[in-house]
Structure 1
């Protein structure tokens, strides 16, 4: 420790020997602006104004600051008391008017600065290059103004890096690129849209923005349909295709995931390729497939390139008969539909997916009633049941991505209700990301699932759309059932 102290003192003297410049006042102002993380919260607010990786970087940065500040100020300073440098070690014009009185080790300012920058780098590396000089200036300002030793700053920086990486435990980084599939497809190129039937839902996406005009300009020879009030979308498109056999070579859709699921069902039934035109609010399916912009749709249709992917279907048997529904993303029973709706409302208010999902889960479980059912003939008591089209990641709560589109499997997840304190244990496992070892949570990958309710009827939700009441639900994966345009 004596060697460390001598090393610190030598570096402080070197800093103190620097000639007086206007930078001295700038560093004093900068170090004050970073008190309690105010500087970084302001930067985060600015970054959050733009959707995408910029907003994710801001939110991850704020989360990293919370970890770093707690670790440095509440833990480190209490366990490692250390005197701050004497005021007379630096020139008077550099000294802060109000010097901090807490332990010098570690530097909370440095911990927050490095935590924020490292977290930003995880989501948006180029943006971190712009933020890093500001973080370095904040860290050095603590030595320049004489309130920290250099090793305090180094320790704070190490805590900041660790805090940023800790956020990945609760909020994993999204994988780059679309879902994989081993089945390429040669599809008919439709440059100007001849032979293309497009369903446009003006109510999807941003309110007041109707993409019909843009689509008509991109594909002038395409036939454009709009949803008819009171008519099921699947019935509407099926009727249109049946009335003109051979006229259409592909069907397109501009809308949210619910609209996409309906049109995908028609495309699969008529064995026509699907053109995705992202125009919804969240566009989960388009993001998984790898068609996130209209430009990508245009290029794929012109080139006639595409892939084959799996669909999933559920056969619903109730008191009024049997119906069948396709789904491209997920289906669910129990409290899950309500949880998804609440989570998406929070996401629309700029909450990140994982925190929004956690809050929605807690609120839903408080009001949920357990469901008695049979899963493939075995009796269970569950709070909610989730069925995904394909295998999702991560395997714990709040699946966020689909690495592969052609697994031929369903992702089945449910929460047991037959164990003591099952809801509290599930929430605890979610918050600590230990669901994989929790007895109340189960996850299986399987090609089919038969569900029979033992106490009445319930509605199944598919791709965010609530379906009919049923007592038996037969879920099946349909390998390579859908061809879709993709570059």
Structure 2
């Protein structure tokens, strides 16, 4: 428990100590038995970190710290609030209270989202954009911010808030302080061009193959059976039904079960990615699962359970600035930031290298 949540561990530790004392005090166990048992339990818990990495709560490293427009009381800030993301009603009221001069609007669900935002920007000429919603909403507003040369303020109004958590902007109070004082940092915004025409941006990940399905299944199960059992069940189910994809990676022919492209650098490098170390390095984190080795799915699961993914032929990890992917055969669905956004057979991934200015407290 202490490995996953130090605060919860600190709260439970006195109870555990009291149990240990009571066992000795009542004569049920010798002191040496209790000490040995506690040491054994702690050792087993620590040893699991070899294959079950603990997600760090520290924010990722961003790009250069810069000065952005300081907006006292939110004057000059246009905030888009997505009513369909998370619990935005309470957060919208909190933003209004703390930034009374900021303009907030919720887009009409029956009208094109981006058209509404562009009209608001054209009519109001804001000095900065804000967004209260999930990752899918954040990336849409981030595109407009980059296109208009405006800094972006993120309020974590989604269900999971991957980007807000990784970027260190998960606190409304801290973001408000950054907005009023003009504190900001540069961050990467990644993109993928599909079939040479359509451009799709993403702030977290782009994936195809079984990975999107495994993430959705894991998130449905983890509330019932726990994070790591849910991850194992999801991987087994998805891989069992998966069909290998024949692709070309930067001109090299590969057959893969799934492909993962992350914006920035994820951690750990030799296990399933659990957290992000950097969103300001101008790089893409690329991981894929080859289908060619004999019994590759079985070997992959064994490697995951034994903490040997980093040295396994069934798991490949690299860091790059661009990536070209061509799929042989039928088109595949591309998922960006957890949502299926395009179907295609040719994908060119890149990062804009610190192209987005993000309000973040210091």
With the length of structure 1 as denominator, give the TM-score of the two structures: 0.70
Query: Mapping of 1:217-366 within 5 angstroms?
Result: 217-241=97-121, 243-244=122-123, 247-317=125-195, 322-347=197-222, 349=223, 352-366=226-240
Contact 1:198 1:224 in 2 (8 A): yes
- Count of residue correspondences: 361
More helix by share: 1
- Bigger shift: residues 412-421 or 133-142: 133-142
Distance 1:138 1:437 in 2: 42
State the superposition RMSD in angstroms.
2.1
Q: Which whole-Å deviations, capped at 9, do the CAs of 1:124-155 have from their partners, x for residues lacking one?
A: 55554553343233224334444433332232
- Bigger shift: residues 219-228 or 417-426: 219-228
- Bigger shift: residues 128-137 or 445-454: 128-137
Which of 138, 144, 159 is residue 40 of structure 2 equivalent to?
Answer: 159
Bigger relative CO (Cα 8 Å, ≥ 6 apart): 2
Query: Could you say what secondary structure the match of 2:74 adopts?
Result: coil
Contact 1:233 1:263 in 2 (8 A): no
2:317 is aligned to: 443
Contact 2:51 2:307 in 1 (8 A): yes
- Bigger shift: residues 152-161 or 333-342: 152-161
Query: Could you say what secondary structure the match of 2:325 adopts?
Result: strand
Bigger-Rg structure (1/2)? 1
Q: Which whole-Å deviations, capped at 9, do the CAs of 1:239-289 have from their partners, x for residues lacking one?
A: 432x338x1111110001111111111111222111001111111100111
Which of 24, 30, 55 is residue 149 of structure 1 equivalent to?
Answer: 30
Q: Which whole-Å deviations, capped at 9, do the CAs of 1:378-425 have from their partners, x for residues lacking one?
A: 111100000000110011343121112211110000001112211111
Distance 1:388 1:220 in 2: 36
- Bigger shift: residues 218-227 or 195-204: 218-227
Query: Could you say what secondary structure the match of 1:460 adopts?
Result: strand
Distance 1:353 1:186 in 2: 39
Contact 2:271 2:310 in 1 (8 A): no
1:391 is aligned to: 265
1:107 is aligned to: none
CA shift for structure 1 position 353: 4.1
Contact 2:53 2:274 in 1 (8 A): no
Structure 1: state its 5+ residue gaps.
1-59, 61-119
More strand by share: 2
Distance 1:383 1:128 in 2: 38
Distance 1:477 1:230 in 2: 32
CA shift for structure 1 position 375: 0.5
1:137 is aligned to: 18
Distance 1:230 1:314 in 2: 27
Distance 1:220 1:143 in 2: 60
1:169 is aligned to: 50
Structure 2: state its 5+ residue gaps.
none
Note closer, same or farther for the CA distance 1:194–1:327 as it changes in structure 2 (3 Å cut): same
